Structure 1
Amino acid sequence: MSPLRIVWTVARREVNARIRTRSFLISTVAILAILVGYAALMFFIGQQGATSKIGFTGQATAVAAPFKSTADRLGTTIQATQIPDQAAGEKLVSDGELDGLVAGAPDALSLIVRTAPDSAVRTALDEVVRQQALDAELAMAGIEPADVHSVLAGAHVDVRTLEPADPQRAERLGMAVGAGALLYFFLIMFGQAVAQGVVEEKTSRVVEILLSTIRPTQLLAGKVLGIGLAGLVQFVLIGGLGLAAGVGSGALALPSTALIGTMLWTLLWFLLGFYLYATVLAAAASLVSRQEDLQSVVSPVIMVLVVPFVVGVSVLPTDPESSIGAVLSLIPGFAPVLMPMRTALGVAAPWECVVSVLLSIAAIAATLRLGGRIYANAILHTGARVKLLDAVRWG
C-alpha cells in the first residue's frame, strides 16, 4: 500500500469509530436541539417584547394618538386599544391581556400596570404629560402652542460624521463572537479527543500492533486526519443549523455573501487550527502512558488557545480595529480564533487573511515534522513520562 493509502485507511477507521459512537450522535443531537430551542426562545421573546398593548379609557383616549406617535419616535411600538371603562381595563391588565391602562384627564394621567411599568412606555407617557402641561401653560399665556411646536421642530443639532456608521455592526459582532466561540469549543473538544486516543492506544498496547505494519508518522497523520474529518462533520451540522436559526429568527439579516463568506472562512480556520493543535496535542500525549497524566501535558497547549479567545471576546467587541487583535490574528496558534472573528467584523484586510493562512500552513508543516518525530520516538515508551528533549533527540 502507498503511504497516502495507509494514512487514509487509518483516517477512515477513526472517522467510523467516532461518528458511529453513541456519544457523538447524542452530543450532536443535543447541541442541535439547544440551538433550535435557543433560536425559538429568542424569536418568541422578540415577538412578545416587540409591541406593548396599552389600553386607554375615559378622557385618556384623547392622548392615545400623541402617545403612540411619541412611542414610535422613541423606538417603542404601541398597540393602543380603547377600553369602555376603567374597571374592565384593570381586569384586562390583571389577567395579562394588557400591558398597561391609561386613565384620567389629559392633564392628570395615570398608568395602571400589573407589577412594574415598562420603562419605554413610561418615558413616552411622561413626555406626553409634559407636552400637555406645556400646551396648557402656553394657552393660558396667550401663545399658540402650534407656533411653539413648529419652532421646536426646526431646532436641532447638525451632526457631521467623519466615518459612516455601520447599521449592521451588532449583527456582525454576533457572527464574530459566535464563530470565535464555536471554533474555540471545537478545537478544544476534538483536540483533546486526539490526545485521549493516543494515550488509550498506548495504554492498551494497540499501538504496538499498528506500528508493526505502518510507520508512526503515518499512524499520527491518519489519526489526526480522521478525527478532524469527524469533527468537521459535527462542526458543519452545528454551525450550519446555528446560522439557519439566526437567519430564520430574524437575528441575522446580513447579506447572503457576508454570511456565506463568514461560514467558509470559519470552516477553513477550523481545519487549519485543528491540524495545528491536534498534531501538537498528539505529540504531547505520546509522552505519557496514563490518562491521569494526560492533563499535565495538554494543559499548556490549551492555555495557548485560551489567549486568542479572551482577546476576541474582550477586545474586538469594543475595538474591532485594535492593534493587538490585528497582530495576534497573524500569529499561527492565535489566528484560528481571531482571524475569522476579524473577518466577520469586516476589519481584516485581504492581505492579512492571505498572510495569516500562509503562516498557519507553514506552522502546520513545521509542527507535523517536529510532532511526528516526538510521536515516533515516544509512542512505544511505556511507564514513566518521557521528557520532551529526550523525545526530540532520540532516533
Structure 2
Amino acid sequence: MKALKLIIQREYLTRIKKKSFLILTILMPAIFIGVIFLPIWLSGIKDSEAKHIAVIDPTGKYASHLQSSDEYKFDITDHNPGHLVSEGGSELYGILQVTDDLSVNPKAITFYSEKQAPIGLLSYINSTLSEVVKSEKLSTLSSRDNIDPKVLTEIREITQSRNNVSVTTMRWDENGAEKETSTAIASGIGGVITLLMYMFILMYGAMVMNGVVEEKSNRIVEVLISSVRPFDLMMGKIIGIGLVGLTQLLIWAVLLGVVSASAGTWLTSSGMSDAAPMLTNMELLFSVNWIEILICFLLFFVGGYLIYASIFAIIGAAVDNAQDTQQFVMPVTLIFIFALYVGIYSIQNPDGPLAFWCSLIPITSPIVMMVRIPFGVPLWQEVLSVAILYISIVLVVKFAAKIYRVGILMYGKKPSMKEIIKWFSYK
C-alpha cells in the first residue's frame, strides 16, 4: 500500500507541476470560448464600404422596395446588363434584373455578379420581393372581389406579422410541484458534458498508455518491478493521472462558477434593455439539479476513466514503442466515437431504446448517461448504470493487471490479440 501511495504521488506531482499543465488549464477555457464565439464574431464583421448593386426593373414595381444598408447599396437603372458590366468597373458588385411580373412569373428575376452571391443578400432580396408580390396579390383580390379595404388591411397585417409561438416547458416532481425548464439548456448541458467526458477520458487514458510505453522503452520499468508489484505500478499510474484530470476539472468548475456569478451580477446592475431575457436564461440554468449532475459526472467520469485507462495500460504494456500502439488504439477509439455519436443522438431522443441501452453498457454509459441526466432520468436507471459500470471496472482491472504483469517485461515482439488474451491464463 505504501508503494502504491508513492507511485500515485509521483505520477500526480510530476504532471501537475509541469508548465504545460498550468498553461493548458488556464488557456483551454479561452480556446473553447474562442472556438465557439470567434466564428460568430468574425461573421458579424462587415466590409468598410457598401457593395453597389444595380437594379433593372422595367415593371417599376419592385426596385423601390429594396432598401440600401451599410452593407449593400441598391441603385435603380434602366441600362442593360452588358452595358453596366462594361461601364461599371470594379465599383459594381452585382446586377439584379427583373424581366417580368413576379406575381405571374416568380422566376423572372436574375442576379449577375463576378463572385458567388452571399446567402444573406439573396435571402434579403427573396423575402423583400416575396412580401411585395403577396401585397400585390391581395390588392388584386380586393379589386376583383370588392373586398372591404379595412378587411384587406387586416389580412395584410396578419400575413406580414410574425406570430411566433413559444412553448414554455414545465416539469413536475413526485410531489406534483412544478418547475419551469428549458429543453435548449438541457441539450446544451448534455452536449458540453458529452464533449468533456469524451475529451478527458480519451486524453488521460492515452496519457496512461504513453507513460507505460515510455517507461518500458527506457527500461525504467525493469528497475521499478524489482521493488514494486506490477499491479501497484499499473494502478498507481492510472490513479495518479486520473487525479490530474480531476484537478483540472475542478479548476475549470471554479473558473466557470466565478464567471457565471460575475456575469449575473453585471447583468443585474447594468440595466440593459436586453438583460431580462439573459437573466431569465441564467435563472433556468441555475434551476437545473446541478448537485445530481455533478455527483453523476464524478461517478461516471471516474468509472469510464478507470475502464479505458486499464485498456490503454494493457496496450502500453503489450508494445515496445508508440508506433506499435496504433493497431490496438484504433478499435478503442472507434468504440469511443460510437459512444459520442449515440450521445449526440440522445440529445434528440433521450428516452429512446438506443439511448437507454447504451446508458447501461459500461463502455458507452459514461458518455450517454450524462447526456440523458439533464433531461431527467429515473433514479433506478442511474443506480443500475453505476452498479454495472463499477462491477465491470473490477473485472476489467483484474484482466488488465494479469496481462500487464506479463506484457510489461516482454520486448522485441509485437504480440497478436490471441497472445495477449493467452497471457491472462499465466500464473
What is the CA deviation profile of residues 129-173 of structure 1, one whole-angstrom value per residue up to 9, with x for unaligned ones? 845884697489875433455689999x9x9x9x98997223322
Q: Which residue pairs with 1:205 in the alignment?
A: 219
Instruction: Confirm whether residue 256 of structure 1 aligns to residue 212 of structure 2.
Output: no
Name the residue aligned to 1:33: 30
Match 1:278 to one of 299, 309, 334: 309
The equivalent of 2:354 in structure 1 is 324
Amino acid at match of 1:205: R
Q: Does residue 1:229 correspond to 2:259, yes or no?
A: no
For residue 355 of structure 1, report the CA deviation from its aligned partner: 0.7
Task: Tell me the residue number matched to 1:67.
Answer: none
CA shift in 2, pair 1:214/1:138, >3 Å: same
AA matched with 1:187: I
Give, in whole Å, the separation in 2 of the partners of 1:110 and 1:203: 71
Q: Matched residues in 2 for 1:16 and 1:120: separation? A: 59
Q: Give the whole-Å Cα distance in 2 for the aligned partners of 1:138 and 1:107.
A: 24
Given residue 311 of structure 1, which amino acid in structure 2 is its aligned partner?
A: V
Between the two structures, name the one with larger relative contact order (CA 8 Å, sep ≥ 6).
1
Partner of 1:336, secondary structure, is: helix
- Return the alpha-carbon distance in structure 2 between the equivalents of residues 262 and 336 of structure 1: 12
Deviates more, 1:255-264 or 1:361-370: 255-264
| 2:3 pairs with one of 2, 6, 19 | 6
Is the Cα–Cα contact under 8 Å of residues 299 and 386 in structure 2 kept in the other structure? no
Superposition RMSD in Å: 4.1
d(CA) in 2 for partners of 1:106 and 1:294?
66
Closer, same or farther in 2 for the Cα pair 1:204/1:290, shift >3 Å? same
Question: Over residues 266-319 of structure 1, what are the superposed CA-to-partner deviations in whole Å (9 max), with x where a residue is unaligned?
Answer: 333221110111012112321122222122223222222221112222x22443
Q: Distance in 1 between matches of 2:130 and 2:260?
A: 36
Q: Work out whether 1:363 is the aligned partner of 2:392.
A: yes
Asked if the contact 1:107/1:129 (under 8 Å) is kept, the reply is no
Report what 2:189 is aligned to.
Answer: 175
How far, CA to CA, are the matches of 2:289 and 2:255 in structure 1? Answer: 13
Which amino acid counterpart does residue 184 of structure 1 have in structure 2? Answer: Y
What is the aligned partner in structure 1 of residue 421 from structure 2?
A: 389
| C-alpha distance in structure 1 between counterparts of 2:254 and 2:331, whole Å | 31
Amino acid at match of 1:35: F
Residue 111, structure 1, aligned to residue 108, structure 2: no
Residues 150 and 220 of structure 1: CA distance in aligned 2, closer, same or farther (over 3 Å): same
Name the structure 2 match of 1:354.
383
Q: How far, CA to CA, are the matches of 1:349 and 1:143 in structure 2?
A: 59
Q: How far apart in 2 are the matches of 1:224 and 1:130? A: 67
Single out whichever of 122-131 and 252-261 deviates more from structure 2: 122-131
Where does residue 186 of structure 1 map in the other structure?
200
The Cα shift of 1:259 comes to: 6.6
Higher mean C-alpha displacement, 185-194 vs 132-141:
132-141
Taking structure 1 as the reference length, what is the TM-score of the superposition?
Answer: 0.71
Which deviates more, 107-116 or 171-180?
107-116
Amino acid at match of 2:379: P
TM-fit CA distance, 1:118:
7.7
* Inter-CA distance 145–177: structure 2 relative to 1 (3 Å threshold): same
Query: Partner of 1:306 in structure 2?
Result: 337
Distance in 1 (alpha carbons) for counterparts of 2:48 and 2:314: 65
User: Take 1:326 and 1:307, find their aligned partners in 2: how far apart are those partners?
Assistant: 15
- Note closer, same or farther for the CA distance 1:320–1:243 as it changes in structure 2 (3 Å cut): farther
Change (3 A) 1:240 1:258: farther
- Cα distance in structure 2, aligned partners of 1:120 and 1:242: 39
Relative to the length of structure 2, the TM-score reads: 0.66
Question: Is the contact made by 1:35 and 1:242 (CA closer than 8 Å) also made in structure 2?
Answer: no
Paired residue secondary structure (1:380): coil
- Unaligned runs of at least 5 residues, structure 1: 50-92, 97-103
Q: 1:263 to 1:240 in 2, by over 3 A?
A: farther
Tell me what 1:88 maps to: none
Among all aligned residue pairs of Structure 1 and Structure 2, give the percentage whose two residues are the same amino acid: 27
| CA displacement at 1:26 relative to structure 2 | 3.4
The equivalent residue for 2:175 is: none
Q: CA deviation at 1:239?
A: 6.0
CA change 1:293–1:42 in 2 (3 A) is closer
> 1:94–1:299: structure 2 CA closer, same or farther, 3 Å change rule?
closer
- Alpha-carbon distance between aligned partners in 2 of 1:229 and 1:294, rounded to the nearest angstrom: 24
Find the aligned partners of 1:188 and 1:15 in 2 and give their Cα distance: 18
CA spacing shift, 1:291–1:42, aligned 2, 3 Å: closer
Among 321, 335, 340, the alignment partner of 2:370 is 340
Q: CA deviation at 1:9?
A: 1.8
Change (3 A) 1:153 1:391: same
**Aligned pairs, number:** 337
